[in-house]
Amino acid sequence: MIDFSRVGNNVLTIGVLAAIGYMLYAKFKDPEMKEKIKGFFSRDKMGRGKV
């Protein structure tokens, strides 16, 4: 007998990871988002920066 709850959790986890990965990929492909992400990380490190 297969443990369906574990299989379901694995599928759900893979689906969530795939969705997050795709969102990040789409954002990094968009040059405007790339600048926003760069600005966010620099602001995160410096404590301030361009929004």
pLDDT score of 4 more than 60: yes
Query: pTM of the predicted model, to two decimals?
Result: 0.42
pLDDT score of 48 more than 60: no
- SS3 for the chain is CCCHHHHHHHHHHHHHHHHHHHHHHHHHHCHHHHHHHHHHHHHHHHCCCCC
pLDDT score of 5 more than 60: yes
